[in-house]
């Protein structure tokens, strides 16, 4: 016989998502930090290791320079993420825009893919509205990271990661 609190236990709904999207051209396959491509994208398996030839190849494929987020772009990207969550009724726990990526922890009533694409779209819109992104192309790399958070402990660890494990605070005037 199940315990009363187990009657409503839902093991298939994450308590949140850790969403990360990178700026175009700032983390290429073969980078020393490791990466994941379409052939090496199985949970629990190793990332691609460093490979200079692969980085050179990836650089040659780039159609434009890498994108960096200035202080103004970072502020706009964070505003876009906040606006998206507010409009959709999603719980935004934290957002942190860095010079080459944006992290956020969100609880939403839809798939992590939808959350990621919505956050990227709103961040792009906000950067454009702030007048610091004039290109028709997206400032973001293709796709991004989506990690489901299944427990409160995982949720709190993701929030800590976004808030405290991203390096020193960035200047507001770069």
All structural domains of the chain with their residue ranges: 14-24+67-164
- For the residues 62-80, what does the mean pLDDT come to? 96
Whole-number pLDDT of residue 106: 98
CA distances, 148 to each of 14, 47, 106, 107, 144 (Å): 6, 19, 10, 10, 13
Whole-number pLDDT of residue 43: 65
CATH 3.40.50.150 is right for the domain spanning 14-24+67-164: no
pLDDT per residue as tens digits for the range 109-120? 999 999 999 999
Whole-number pLDDT of residue 9: 52
For every residue of the chain, DSSP letters joined together read ---GGGGG--TTS-SEEEEEEEBTTSS-TT-TT-B--TTS--TTSPPB---HHHHHHHHHH-SSPPP---HHHHHHHHHHHHHHHHHHT-EEEEEEE-SSEEEEEEE-SS-HHHHHHHHHHHHHHHHHHTTS---SS-SBPSS-EEEEE-SHHHHHHHHHHHHHSS-SPPPTT-
Distance CA 151, CA 97 (A): 25
pLDDT at 55 > cutoff 50: yes
* Dihedral in degrees, nearest 10, Cα atoms 50, 61, 78, 96: 0
pLDDT at 164 > cutoff 60: yes
Q: Report which of 171, 133, 165, 169 is spatially closest to residue 18, judged by C-alpha positions.
A: 165
Distance CA 91, CA 77 (A): 17
């Amino acid at each position: 016989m199940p315990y009363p609190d187990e009657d409503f236990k839902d093991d298939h709904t994450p308590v949140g998502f850790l969403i990360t999207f990178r700026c175009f051209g700032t983390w290429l396959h073969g980078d020393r930090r490791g990466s994941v491509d379409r052939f090496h994208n199985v949970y629990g398996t190793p990332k691609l290791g460093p490979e200079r030839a692969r980085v050179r190849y990836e650089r040659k494929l780039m159609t434009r320079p890498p994108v960096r987020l200035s202080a103004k772009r970072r502020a706009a990207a964070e505003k876009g993420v906040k606006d998206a969550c507010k409009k959709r009724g999603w719980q935004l726990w934290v957002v942190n825009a860095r010079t080459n990526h944006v992290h956020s922890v969100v609880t939403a009533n839809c798939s992590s893919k939808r959350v990621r694409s919505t956050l990227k779209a709103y961040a792009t819109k906000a950067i454009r509205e702030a007048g610091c992104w004039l290109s028709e192309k997206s400032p973001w790399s293709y796709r991004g990271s989506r990690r489901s958070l299944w427990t409160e402990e995982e949720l709190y660890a993701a929030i800590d990661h976004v808030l405290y494990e991203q390096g020193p605070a960035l200047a507001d005037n770069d």
